[in-house]
């Protein structure tokens, strides 16, 4: 793999990352609910899930999962169910609008990390993404180390992008925490998470 090939790969990954998805919706929700720490831990959880799936893809494990229809279907439904669960939680928070009570019982950081990790890990689209992308930048002579570098690059860049989102939210957090704005954002992110889950469930 040449530096030119790697540069093209970096550009492709960056273009893919800016497209909003379930991970972005979850980072926005948890950055509001848990502040900077909640957003950072969620981003790190998402990055951990991304790295785990990238490692599996680089080592060929993802191909086995995708080709095994029962395993892939179980993963797809688990992902759809988890996104639905997160979406309902956000919609309930928007409906109640009692954010002082929510702050008093705010979950610990470990839960934020787990939400990010599971949101990414149970999304089979990430597996398919790795399996369809990595071969485009590898040759029969490529080593496992090169595959691991490509997979790790996605995990690192994805985490950095989510941290940029967290930083952006913190800059305008005072405005975002206004009750009306907060309820609107919770409603929008909840609906988005439900939509992502539904799309995952009906996708063949």
Model pLDDT for residues 114-136, shown as the tens digit of each residue: 999 998 888 877 877 887 777 77
Residue 107 in this model has a pLDDT that exceeds 60: no
Mean pLDDT, residues 85-89 taken together? 83
Q: How do residues 172-190 score in pLDDT, each as one tens digit?
A: 877 766 777 777 877 888 8
* Global model pTM greater than 0.85: no
Average pLDDT value for the chain: 81
The answer as to whether 87 is a domain residue is yes
Comparing 3 with 45, the larger pLDDT belongs to 45
Per-residue pLDDT at 137: 81
Domain residue limits at 28: 23-202
Indicate the pLDDT class of residue 104, thresholds 50, 70 and 90: very low
The answer as to whether 79 is a domain residue is yes
Determine the 3-state secondary structure of 16 from DSSP.
helix
Indicate the pLDDT class of residue 65, thresholds 50, 70 and 90: low
Residue 163 in this model has a pLDDT that exceeds 90: yes
Count, residues in the chain = 204
Per-residue pLDDT at 66: 67
Indicate the pLDDT class of residue 105, thresholds 50, 70 and 90: very low
Comparing 161 with 16, the larger pLDDT belongs to 161
Comparing 94 with 147, the larger pLDDT belongs to 147
Per-residue pLDDT at 62: 65
User: Rounded to an integer, what distance in angstroms lies between the CA atom of residue 27 and that of residue 162?
Assistant: 7
Burial (Cβ within 10 Å: 0-12, 13-18, ≥19) of residue 123: buried
Mean pLDDT, residues 104-111 taken together? 60
Per-residue pLDDT at 97: 67
Least confident among 80-84, 92-96, 104-108, 123-127:
104-108
Contacts by residues 2-7 (CB-CB < 8 Å, ≥ 24 positions apart): 5/137, 6/137
Structurally, the chain folds into a number of domains equal to 1
Per-residue pLDDT at 176: 67
The answer as to whether 5 is a domain residue is no
Instruction: Assess contact for 106 and 122: CB atoms under 8 A.
Output: no
The answer as to whether 115 is a domain residue is yes
């Amino acid at each position: 793999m040449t530096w030119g090939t790697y540069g093209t790969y970096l550009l492709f990954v960056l273009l893919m990352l800016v497209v909003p998805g379930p991970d972005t919706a979850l980072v926005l929700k948890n950055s509001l609910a848990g502040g900077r720490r909640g957003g950072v831990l969620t981003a790190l959880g998402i990055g951990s899930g991304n790295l785990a799936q990238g490692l599996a893809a680089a080592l060929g494990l993802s191909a086995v999962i995708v080709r095994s229809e029962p395993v892939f279907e179980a993963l797809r439904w688990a992902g759809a169910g988890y996104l639905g669960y997160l979406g309902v939680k956000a919609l309930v928070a928007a409906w109640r609008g009692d954010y002082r009570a929510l702050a008093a019982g705010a979950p610990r950081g470990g839960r934020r990390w787990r939400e990010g990790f599971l949101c990414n890990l149970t999304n089979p689209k990430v597996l398919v993404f790795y399996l369809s992308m990595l071969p485009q930048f590898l040759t029969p002579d490529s080593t496992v180390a090169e595959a691991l570098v490509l997979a790790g690059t996605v995990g690192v860049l994805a985490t950095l992008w989510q941290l940029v989102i967290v930083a952006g939210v913190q800059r305008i957090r005072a405005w975002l925490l206004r009750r009306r704005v907060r309820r609107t954002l919770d409603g929008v992110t909840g609906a988005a998470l439900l939509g992502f889950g539904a799309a995952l469930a009906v996708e063949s």
